[in-house]
């Protein structure tokens, strides 16, 4: 697969000089738990990236619950973690890849292509008997130079412009109950962006929590082959990222993220809202 590496591969290559391992464990609603888990044990050499402190910017009136971080601030943190143009980054979490995918997306957005997700995540690594440690990594600071790919993201205005445009498909990555507006545990308004199709992000994984192969993902997204542009969103621009990876694995290009997602969309009182099946 293009964006996923296996556990045996990481065990074999994890100590190579150019490899940087990133621990992205984080639990929504329990913001300290990821770092606490990392401090207890992690893959040897792994650096920790916090979803809210490192991989998101400050919350304002608009922009959603996890706005994109400032590019220069993130670039500085990536450099401090030893990531530079020659690095291969392998990210993992214990949330099915949701948080690790956010780092994957941000690095790709900043022009870095050599970034992968660890299949199965941390618990599977530990269960398989691979080494873990509580030792902090030895960091070799580097300079990370961002080359932002603006066309990977769309703003709320760009989403509105495209709502009725033929050839544009909008994908909602949240679970069906939230898409349908039946329940909304996090945001203050339930529903979805009119015209969006429901593709729950966890359907990219099999029953063991491993990523489905390219053929299975291609079949999952078969109905989108004719789309000229695919815009992916979720609640706050985090769990949309595994769907971006899955679409790429399925061979679909011209996929863009709406980083503000539903939490940004509903911050504008004039924006239309749909509920139920489309």
Which of these, 214, 43, 3, lies nearest to 128 by C-alpha position?
Answer: 43
Nearest in space to 25 (alpha carbons), one of 104, 106, 91, 120: 91
Pairing of strands 4-5, 115-118: parallel
69 φ/ψ angles, rounded to the nearest 5 degrees: -70, 160
Strand order in the sheet with 255-257: 197-198, 168-172, 229-233, 255-257
Contact by Cβ (8 Å): 173, 240: yes
Which residue is catalytic, options 234, 238, 241, 255?
234
Is 241 labeled as catalytic in the residue annotation?
no
Give Cβ neighbours of residue 165 (< 8 Å, ≥ 6 apart).
none
Q: Which residues are identified as catalytic?
A: 234
């Amino acid at each position: 697969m293009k964006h996923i590496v296996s556990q045996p591969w990481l065990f074999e290559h994890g100590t190579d000089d150019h490899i940087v391992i990133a621990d992205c464990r984080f639990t929504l609603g329990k913001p300290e738990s990821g770092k606490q888990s990392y401090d207890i044990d992690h893959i040897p050499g792994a650096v920790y990236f916090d979803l809210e402190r490192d991989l998101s910017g400050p919350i304002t009136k608009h922009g959603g619950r996890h706005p994109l971080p400032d590019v220069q601030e993130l670039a500085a943190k990536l450099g401090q973690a030893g990531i530079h143009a020659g690095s291969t980054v392998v990210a993992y979490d214990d949330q099915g890849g949701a948080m690790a995918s956010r780092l994957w997306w941000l690095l790709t957005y900043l022009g870095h292509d050599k970034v992968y997700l660890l299949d199965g995540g941390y618990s599977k690594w530990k269960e398989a008997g691979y080494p873990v440690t509580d030792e902090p990594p030895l960091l070799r600071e580097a300079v990370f130079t961002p080359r932002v790919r603006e066309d990977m993201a769309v703003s709320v205005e760009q989403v509105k412009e495209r709502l009725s445009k033929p050839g544009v498909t909008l994908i909602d990555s949240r679970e069906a109950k939230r898409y349908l507006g039946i329940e909304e545990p996090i945001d203050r308004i339930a529903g979805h962006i009119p015209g969006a199709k429901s593709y729950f992000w966890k359907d990219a994984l099999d029953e063991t929590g491993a990523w489905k192969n390219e053929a299975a993902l291609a079949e999952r997204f078969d109905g989108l082959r004719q789309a000229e542009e695919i815009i992916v969103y979720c609640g706050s621009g985090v769990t949309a990222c595994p769907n971006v990876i899955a679409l790429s694995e399925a061979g679909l290009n011209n996929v863009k993220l709406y980083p503000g997602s539903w939490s940004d969309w509903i911050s504008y009182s004039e924006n239309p809202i749909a509920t139920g099946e489309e």
